[in-house]
């Protein structure tokens, strides 16, 4: 739960920054930034207009973050538009208040963006290449970065000023660790074997014709660039591989494994430098007849490691002081150092495990080196081809043949696929989204679509089949099954209501269950963190239910995803308390609860700014 709170309290602009700034790179195309003047805006915030293509960008980002969840497309589009409006309201407020972002802050942020990094480092060439592919100047891009940083800082100023009292924390754990006792019975859904009448089927068909349609389908032709394909065309010369291997030798090296232990003689108020050194020298002599582990347990001032014989684990450079590291790295297996001084005192160091590092010889990894060399050489060609693909597909929006010939790559074709599902290239959601976009359906090439970091596709419409109604004969049995299921569910609902009414009237759940040949199941001391194998829907409704009053249980019904009806008799609610583990995380809990409060306050601030802003959503 504390993790959930922390996640909820993160910056609302964490992905917002990237949608404003970086999504263009993920989609690799400029089309959505051009010709907006020819279309009517979808919404306006003051003098700022948003067009359908702006909403589509935000929509695509939402879709990616909600993959696997069955959420209505119109709801996602509304959320995307709402997000654009909220961000613009906040940005305009920030500018009106004179908030600014420093050049150094923007520069550091840009350098940290993975889009502009090669081998983990900022690449000026990569930066210029990607900005060029967007037809975007560096000044314009930096301006967008600064705007996003300002919004993030404004949000943080609200969230970080929030706090949680001891009462708030105690109240949270009282609710979070609450225990509930209840009994429940389940009414199953039992289908009848009696088939619905023909007139019932026909009536249902007439009322729900939209449910029985073949989906809208398209097929596309496309040009695909892939880093792997380009890499295979790179010629590998022997005289190039060996130097490349030398440059990349770290990739073919197994680092030395060195495990160490130590005995510490601390310098402190009770023991001065000279006394600590004398102790270390005496212990060094004692090792001639004594075991290092036993001596460490007996005399080491590092009590945390002494109980394990002074074991410090694997030796990592950069963790200890230089004198300590120099000594530890020179010792042979089983060898003990002379006293080594550090800020803590004097150490006797021993190497307890040593596996030498190994460099794989060139001949053994020649094939790996060749593939790595090809990929390395292909990267520049890939980005250059990507630029050409972007430019030519935009300049020739009515065909792919021109760009295919220029890039010496074939035009491929897909089979028919629907918006929700496809095979081959259409198994990619980004491809399906682009294929059904207004731009492509009108006969234009799509914007370049990035599939990962090493594939780029441009597609255009090949065939478009509109949705069509299926005949009654085709769907007769499907409708019959639906009617049987609905009837069975309704019967279970009615039965559950009857059972509940008896419980509310004062009968025990055991008697009601026995009369209906149902099994009573019981749960005692259930908490939110322990599901006991129960369905989530049941746990959720149990903890939302009102507490029982007096000796009367709280009775309610919930429906499971299977359609089954569960009648619950909640008999006891025990207030929660902080556990020992909770107390250990008290600082973290207080911090995260404060962040959650801060996030709520921030939402209220944005809501207030929206009420005062000049917002128009066109078409409403």
SS3 sequence, 424-480? HHHHCHHHHHHHCCHHHHCCCCCCCEECCCCEEEEEEEEEEECCEECCHHHHHHHHH
Residue 31's pLDDT band, with cuts at 50, 70 and 90, is: very low
pLDDT at 33: 35
Which tops the pLDDT comparison, 106 or 565? Answer: 565
Angle separating helix axes 586-612 and 166-176, nearest 10 degrees: 100
Specify the pTM.
0.49
Which tops the pLDDT comparison, 310 or 140? Answer: 310
**Closest CA relative to residue 30, chosen from 384, 389, 390:** 390
Least confident of 144-153, 243-252, 341-350: 243-252
**C-alpha–C-alpha distance, residues 568 and 547, integer Å:** 13
* Tokens describing residue 246: 């030398």
Asked whether residue 551 is domain-assigned, the answer is yes
Counting residues of the chain whose pLDDT is more than 70, the rounded percentage is: 90
Q: Which of 469, 501, 516 is the last residue of a domain?
A: 469
> For the chain, what is the domain count?
4
pLDDT at 71: 62
**Closest CA relative to residue 274, chosen from 181, 348, 345, 377:** 345
Asked whether residue 336 is domain-assigned, the answer is yes
* Tokens describing residue 71: 């959420």
Residue 432's pLDDT band, with cuts at 50, 70 and 90, is: very high
By three-state DSSP, how is residue 555 classified? strand
CB 485 within 8 A of CB 191: yes
Which tops the pLDDT comparison, 141 or 502? Answer: 502
Phi first, then psi, for residue 136 (nearest 5°) are -120, 130
pLDDT at 506: 93
Asked whether residue 396 is domain-assigned, the answer is yes
351 and 459 inside one domain? no
pLDDT at 517: 94
| pLDDT digit string, tens, across residues 344-373 | 899 999 999 887 777 788 777 777 877 777
| pLDDT digit string, tens, across residues 68-114 | 555 666 777 888 888 889 889 988 998 888 888 888 888 888 888 88
- Do the strands 48-50 and 43-45 form a parallel or antiparallel pair, or are they unpaired? antiparallel
Q: Is the pLDDT of residue 163 over 80?
A: yes
Measured torsion, CA atoms of residues 496, 501, 503, 507, in degrees rounded to the nearest 10 = -120
By three-state DSSP, how is residue 48 classified? strand
Q: What is the DSSP string of 364-425?
A: GGHHHHHHHHHHHHHHHHHHHHHHHHHHHHHHSTT-SHHHHHHHT-PPEE---EESS--SGG
What is the extent of the structural domain holding 338? 256-356
479 and 404 inside one domain? no
548 and 609 inside one domain? no
Q: What is the DSSP letter of 272?
A: -
Domain with residue 283: its CATH number is 3.10.50.40
**C-alpha–C-alpha distance, residues 236 and 370, integer Å:** 7
pLDDT at 363: 74
pLDDT at 63: 66
**C-alpha–C-alpha distance, residues 171 and 55, integer Å:** 41
pLDDT at 401: 94
- Do the strands 615-617 and 468-469 form a parallel or antiparallel pair, or are they unpaired? unpaired
pLDDT at 25: 41
Distance between alpha carbon 4 and the CA centroid of its chain, in Å? 13
330 and 386 inside one domain? no
Angle separating helix axes 14-21 and 138-159, nearest 10 degrees: 170
44 and 85 inside one domain? yes
What average pLDDT score do residues 568-582 get? 91
* Tokens describing residue 574: 């025990």
Which tops the pLDDT comparison, 11 or 362? Answer: 362
218 and 319 inside one domain? no
**Closest CA relative to residue 395, chosen from 36, 34, 26:** 34
* Tokens describing residue 377: 């050489």
478 and 567 inside one domain? yes
- Inter-residue long-range contacts of 543-551, CB under 8 Å, 24+ positions, other chains counted: 543/178, 543/180, 545/570, 547/573, 548/572, 548/573
Q: Is the pLDDT of residue 460 over 70?
A: yes
pLDDT at 463: 95
Q: Is the pLDDT of residue 42 over 80?
A: yes
120 and 84 inside one domain? yes
Domain with residue 222: its CATH number is 3.10.50
Secondary structure of 311-372 in the HEC alphabet?
Answer: EEEECCCCCCCHHHHHHHHHCCCCCECCCEECCCEEEEEEEEEEECCEECCHHHHHHHHHHH
What average pLDDT score do residues 390-410 get? 92
Q: Is the pLDDT of residue 28 over 90?
A: no
Asked whether residue 386 is domain-assigned, the answer is yes
pLDDT at 65: 61
Q: How many CA atoms lie within 13 A of 100 on its CB side?
A: 4
Residue 531's pLDDT band, with cuts at 50, 70 and 90, is: confident
pLDDT at 203: 94
Q: Which of 336, 356, 376 is the last residue of a domain?
A: 356
123 and 17 inside one domain? yes
Domain with residue 20: its CATH number is 1.10.4030.10
pLDDT at 620: 57
What average pLDDT score do residues 281-287 get? 93
Asked whether residue 450 is domain-assigned, the answer is yes
Question: Is 547 exposed, middle or buried, given 0-12, 13-18 or 19+ CB atoms closer than 10 A?
Answer: exposed
Listed in sequence order, the residues at least 6 apart from 287 whose beta carbon sits closer than 8 Å to its beta carbon are 295, 336, 348
Q: Which residues on adjacent β-strands are paired with residue 590?
A: none
What average pLDDT score do residues 55-62 get? 74
Residue 597's pLDDT band, with cuts at 50, 70 and 90, is: very high
**Closest CA relative to residue 159, chosen from 371, 312, 9, 382:** 9
Which tops the pLDDT comparison, 451 or 11? Answer: 451
Q: What is the DSSP letter of 546?
A: P
* Tokens describing residue 580: 């020992």
What average pLDDT score do residues 164-188 get? 92
313 and 437 inside one domain? no
Asked whether residue 548 is domain-assigned, the answer is yes
77 and 185 inside one domain? no
Q: Is the pLDDT of residue 134 over 70?
A: no
| pLDDT digit string, tens, across residues 246-261 | 677 777 777 777 899 9
């Amino acid at each position: 739960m504390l993790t959930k709170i922390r996640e909820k309290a993160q910056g609302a602009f964490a992905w917002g920054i990237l949608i404003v700034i970086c999504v263009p790179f993920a989609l690799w195309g400029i089309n959505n930034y051009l010709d907006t003047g020819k279309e009517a805006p979808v919404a306006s915030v003051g003098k700022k207009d948003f067009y359908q293509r702006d909403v589509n960008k935000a929509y695509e980002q939402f879709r990616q973050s909600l993959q696997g969840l069955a959420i209505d497309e119109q709801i996602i589009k509304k959320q995307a538009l709402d997000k654009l409006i909220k961000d613009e309201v906040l940005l305009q407020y920030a500018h009106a208040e004179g908030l600014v972002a420093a050049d150094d802050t923007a520069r550091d942020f840009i350098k940290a963006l993975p889009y502009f990094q090669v081998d983990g480092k900022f690449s000026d060439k990569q930066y210029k290449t990607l900005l060029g592919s967007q037809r975007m100047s560096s000044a314009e891009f930096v301006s967008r970065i600064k705007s996003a940083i300002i919004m993030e800082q404004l949000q943080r100023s609200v969230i970080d000023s929030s706090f949680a009292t001891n009462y708030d924390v105690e109240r949270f754990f009282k609710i979070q660790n609450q225990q509930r006792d209840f009994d429940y019975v389940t009414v199953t859904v039992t289908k009848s074997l009696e088939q619905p009448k023909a007139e019932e089927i026909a009536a249902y068909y007439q009322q729900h014709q939209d449910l029985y349609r073949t989906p809208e389908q398209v097929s596309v032709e496309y040009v695909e660039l892939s880093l792997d394909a380009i890499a295979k065309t790179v010629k590998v010369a022997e005289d190039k591989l060996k130097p490349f291997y030398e440059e990349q030798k770290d990739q073919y090296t197994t680092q030395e494994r060195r495990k160490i232990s130590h005995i510490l003689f601390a310098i402190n108020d009770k023991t001065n430098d000279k006394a600590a050194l004398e102790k270390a020298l005496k212990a060094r002599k004692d090792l001639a007849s004594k075991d290092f582990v036993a001596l460490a347990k007996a005399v080491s001032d590092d009590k945390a490691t002494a109980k394990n014989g002074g074991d410090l684990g694997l030796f990592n450079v950069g963790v200890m002081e230089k004198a300590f590291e120099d000594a530890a790295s020179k010792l042979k297996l089983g060898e003990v150092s002379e006293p080594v001084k550090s800020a803590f005192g004097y150490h006797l160091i021993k190497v307890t495990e040593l596996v030498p590092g190994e460099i794989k010889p060139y001949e053994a990894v020649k094939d790996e080196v060749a593939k790595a060399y090809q990929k390395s050489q292909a990267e520049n060609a890939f980005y250059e081809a990507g630029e050409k693909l972007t430019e030519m597909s935009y300049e020739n929006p009515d065909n792919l043949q021109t760009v295919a010939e220029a890039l010496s790559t074939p035009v491929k074709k897909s089979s028919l696929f629907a918006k929700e599902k496809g095979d081959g290239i259409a198994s990619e959601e980004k491809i399906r989204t682009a294929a059904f976009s207004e731009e492509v359906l009108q006969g234009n090439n799509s914007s370049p679509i990035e599939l990962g970091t090493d594939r780029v596709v441009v597609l255009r419409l090949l065939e478009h089949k509109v949705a069509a109604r299926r005949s009654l004969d085709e769907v007769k049995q499907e409708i019959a099954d639906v009617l049987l299921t609905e009837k069975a569910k309704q019967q279970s609902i009615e039965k559950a209501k009857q059972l509940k009414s008896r419980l509310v009237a004062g009968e025990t759940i055991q008697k009601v269950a026995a009369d209906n040949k149902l099994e009573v199941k019981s749960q005692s001391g259930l908490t939110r963190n322990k599901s006991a194998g129960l369905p989530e829907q049941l746990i959720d409704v149990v903890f939302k239910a009102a507490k029982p009053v007096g000796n009367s249980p709280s009775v309610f019904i919930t429906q499971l995803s299977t359609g089954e009806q569960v009648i619950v008799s909640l008999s006891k609610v025990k207030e929660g308390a902080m556990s020992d583990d909770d107390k250990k995380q008290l600082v973290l809990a207080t911090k995260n609860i404060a962040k959650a409060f801060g996030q709520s306050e921030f939402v209220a601030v944005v809501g207030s700014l929206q009420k005062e802003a000049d917002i128009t959503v066109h078409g409403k």
